Amino acid sequence: MKTFKALSALLSYPSEELQQAIPAIWQAFHAEALLSSEQCAAVEPLLIDLESGDLYDLQERYVLLFDRARTLSLNLFEHIHGESRDRGGAMVDLLETYRAGGFDLVGTELPDHLPVLLEFLSTRPLAEARAILGDAGHILVALAERLRRRDSVYAPVLSAIVAVAEAPETEEARILMAEKDDDPEDLAALDAVWEEAMVTFGPDPDAGCPVSRDILAKMDLPHGAPRAPAVRSPEDQTHVR
C-alpha cells in the first residue's frame, strides 16, 4: 500500500526530493484512507514543515533527533538487541524475509531501519504488513511515546504506525518506555553510549540488484535520501553511524 511508502518517506532523511513529494504523500493518505482523518490532521504539521522549511534546518533536526539520540534510533533491533550477536541473527532473518518477498536491500541503511521496513511493507498485503509491524509493536509504541514526550512533530507519524499495526501497550513496551531518554545535547554521555556499540552491520552482500527504486517511481516518492555530511558539525559526525 502506498500509505506505507508515504510513511517511509516521512521518516527518511529530509531531501529536496522529499520536499517535492509532499503532495504525493498527501494524495496517498487520502486515497487509501488507511489513516483516520484525525491521524492525517495530526501529521499535517510535519508535512507542511517538510514542504516549506529550510532544508538545512530540517536535516539538522533529523540528525539531532534520530541519529544522536540512541533511544530514538529508527533501527528497530537496536532497542532490543543493542549491538549484540543476537542482532546479527535477527538481521539475517529479516533479510531473508525481504528476499522471499522479492525486495532487495539497496543503499546504506540497515535492514531494521524503520523506513526500509515500511518500504518493504508497501509491497505486501495489508494483513501481512500489520502482522510484521505487530511483531515490533512494543518498539513502535515506545518510540511514539518518546517522541511525544519531546513534543516532536514526528510523534504523530509513529502514533499512526502504531494505530495501523494495532499494537497494544504491552509490558515489553512499558519496560522500554521506562528507560531514560538520551539527551542529544550531552555529548560526553553520548560518546560513552556509542563507544559500547562497535559491531558494524551492512546490507546483505547477496542481496542482488536493487528493485526498490521502481516502487518509488510508481508513486513519485523519493527513495531514502543519502545523508549529506555537509549539514553536520564535526561533533554531530562523531555520533552518526
pLDDT at 1: 86
CA distance linking residue 81 with residue 89, whole number of Å: 10
Q: Is the pTM of this model over 0.95?
A: no
pLDDT at 220: 56
Burial 194-233 (b: 16+ CB within 10 A, else e): beeeeeebebbeebeeeebeebbeebebbbbbebeeebbe
pLDDT at 184: 61
pLDDT at 71: 87
pLDDT at 171: 72
Which residue numbers in the chain have pLDDT < 50?
A: 84, 189-190, 192-194, 196-218, 225, 228-241
pLDDT at 163: 94
